[in-house]
Chain A
């Protein structure tokens, strides 16, 4: 499998990227680590006329932390974020999920924003972004805007990004006192795409569970912490409109939502209690 022909431009500044996207009339694609895009090129599911390589744009390669939010630039590789000593302290859910992305051999090249742009319904980062109420920072020559994850992911591998827009960064709230997190993925082998993946955030106000791999995009619900939890999970399971595929039946996926979903929200509550204890001492 070889890609169809395309031209290639190695951008040096964000302006170069935006200019190329603006001029191409939708025929250009951004390439970062290439771990989602190159398989699509090889299988000729994507046939862009121009690839704009953003990995040499210094301004896009930062992780910024303004105290409240972690802002991850478009050039930040998954493995670099995983290996940063402070990722777990700044946003535990991100650190929990990163080892589950593909394999070390793909995380070494793949970027955080690239996985968000690809928007595979069973990918971990779109799920984490949804669970955390993260935002996608989009920029074109016309405008800059930020979209909440749930508005950005509009369908299976479909997003609200316009053709001339670059995902400049994604941002997630930094860890907050009194908040607990949990992540779990069910797949046949480590590194496979998830049959179902779960990310939960529990704080003093609410218990939020996001699920990937079942519906066409990651979906999040606020769940009750009392006796109503099982009923709420059952409703959530049916609302996801799971489908049968090669990897699992719809029924099996609904059962995962009920059982593993419950375990994951309870794990997030336990994590919250453990963190509160640590904060108190």
Chain B
């Protein structure tokens, strides 16, 4: 490790940012103050990640950073340099084939307007991977980090439980 102080990225200048997005290399330029969701949407054109409150409350912008669900609005693009980022665009198995979680949301009316959905999917996807045997209590605790104003959460919980079940039975997944 170099003893020399690392470079200061000047304010107001754009700097290269590179990371892995949904398994592929991605990169662009960002000012230090650019938030990760703006970098995803405006620089990379990945508009699946939605932007709500921009101070970490609503959960709409939730993505996975190095495997863990996190707020894109509370992360600077420059902080994400070198990280593994996963967004809602990375969930479907193919353009015409939804993941088990997405399929369950469709089947159980887990979304209406769809604004909060990408963030919720990214949190639940991480939960189901980490805890395949999770029950309603863990699902509700994970959902406490998201606001949905359409469904009232009950269909979302049902969808998550159905997806957990489907993923435990391999032929559904």
Contacts and interface: CB of A to CB of B under 8 A. Distances in A.
A141 B171 CA distance: 61
Contacts of A105: 59, 62, 69-71, 123, 145
Of listed B68, B71, B73, B75, residue having the most chain A CB within 10 A:
B71
Contacts of A41: 33
A104 B123 contact: yes
Interface of A: 1-13, 15-16, 19-20, 31, 34-35, 38-39, 41-43, 49-51, 53, 55, 58, 79, 102-106, 108-109, 189-191
Interface stretch (B1-9, B89-97, B101-109): B1-9
A21 to B, nearest CB: 12
Contacts of B162: none
A49 B12 CA distance: 11
B5 A109 contact: no
Question: 8 smallest A-B Cβ distances: which pairs?
Answer: A103-B145, A8-B32, A108-B68, A5-B11, A39-B55, A105-B145, A38-B74, A3-B33
Interface in B62-104: 62, 65, 68-71, 73-76, 78-79, 81
Q: Using C-beta atoms within 8 Å of the partner chain, give the interface range for chain B.
A: 35 or more
Nearest to B13: A7
B63 to A, nearest CB: 10
A49 B9 CA distance: 11
B40 interface: no
Interface of B: 1-3, 5-12, 31-33, 35, 38, 54-56, 59, 62, 65, 68-71, 73-76, 78-79, 81, 123, 141-142, 144-145
Given A103-B144, A108-B68, A109-B71, A8 B9 contact: yes
